[in-house]
Structure 1
């Protein structure tokens, strides 16, 4: 069985399991406890925080450990926007948030919450057919009036089509305007450089990197007002209450360091194989169309529409041939609605419902990478079978 849905989740790396296991057994202390066992746990948590910060290009005190990417995105969008409103002197003061229509639902739903519950204004920037934001549109959208822009939230790399944004240009616009920039880097981590993005806040998730589900982080500059989502014991410097997932934090730090150390070589190897796979699909499958940017894309992501098919039927055909993949975001699995990302890129609903996404993982030591030409032929056979009704 060949697993090609690494954008949904990844297997836990053996090195990560080894690193976190002691904190699930004999080193089980609560970092908030004031005794030797708790102090040892607090020391391990501080070390994990510093390791994550070093890779992300933030200070240790900027790192907030969360339950995953969804919570990190929620904390960034809601926390920064509400924090900006509170800084203006009274609760509920309306502010303005800028995002795009192709973001993960964690960002889009957070923006919707701010509109519905707090009366905030939200601007969704247009994207072109490749899912790319024009920095000029961002500059035009930022407000400095009585309803000022509190923050901008944009995905570094899209989780469905793999398009990588020009974050340097985006960050230049937000910096010039004095507006905090949040980058959802959940998909970018491990594939793209993270330390010099120019972001004021950045989200990652462990299970995309070879750590287990249930751990993530939001890196956010300490100078920014951040209203917490969770209240209680005041952990994470009052930004995220709740007993910390110490084993998860160690796992995240380990996985992030490993991914960063291997990033350039892994991206080159996987990217080359993915380009061969894309070229073969486009040559073998009539009416196949690559979605996303043709070159500025995540190295291991290849998403296509296959007009005249059902994406779900193609997925079943691939699984019968030993290939596991998806039609898009795992968070939208089972939905009958076409992808909001593809619709925002101008793809017709009936074509969007034919989409299939292939996401390759980092090469495992001693494990041969799949032959992209053989894999492309399996895809072509599955599409042909669906079209013929076989």
Structure 2
């Protein structure tokens, strides 16, 4: 039955088994009808079990939202009960729609899934966590787009058969990290297998299709947690280093440096995603401040950035062969989040604990 309810106490709206009339003809029409963070429940054949999926935690990452709208319009009956969480509706609705990661002046919702749950985003994150605790799902996916173009991959804080099996519904690359940022994937600590899926670029039709096909597999199979039923062999990259810009640093994306920025990267640097970069291949240029404008963060401490990168004649090179990913050409994301993550060419950590 198609019902809509609103809970003012925890800032969420609820849709139960929504009809095509409720959803509208397109994802954008549905987004226009949503008033705020929304929980969608769909009854399954097996009413004793529930799986959960979050999407739109970032308002400019629409692949999961597009996939969910398409799946709901088809009025499929899932194998088990499904719980869908749409957290970032407010930033997604800011014109032009689906272009804002978070509200202007607001916090990144996917950094708020931990105490003390401060501000509006903290309250939304806390409410979504309460929904998960009430539903007690057997697993959870958080579907995103990468901040730049590049192949799909998954991220988790736990590397075991269940997490690899969930990953294999979408991709064959899994990043395992001990870094804690307050992301929803840290719900895995509640002993619920949880994986973040990065589908590829937000403007990439292939990313939208990947999100939909993975969602169909996730909702239609009786068992999604057994590795022997995996779609692909999963390659695991462990504990990447997070390379960040210092807060006061400036960045440009140009074919050559102008001398005005602390860091200059080429406009096509996204093509380096998941490729191996050797120590003799330049990544970009630094200004007079050198590498002091960069930080290298491992899961438990700040590392020496000179063990990750080196400078020769103003150009930046890897200090050793690395595999880099989540490279962005969006300067706002480069400043507010990170430049990229890196592991050894083998997929092992650059720094061992």
TM range (shorter): under 0.3
Normalised by the size of structure 1, how large is the TM-score? Answer: 0.25
Q: Kindly name which structure, 1 or 2, has the bigger radius of gyration based on alpha carbons.
A: 1
Pick the structure with more strand per residue. Answer: 2
Pick the structure with more helix per residue. Answer: 1
Higher relative contact order (CA 8 A, sep 6+): 1
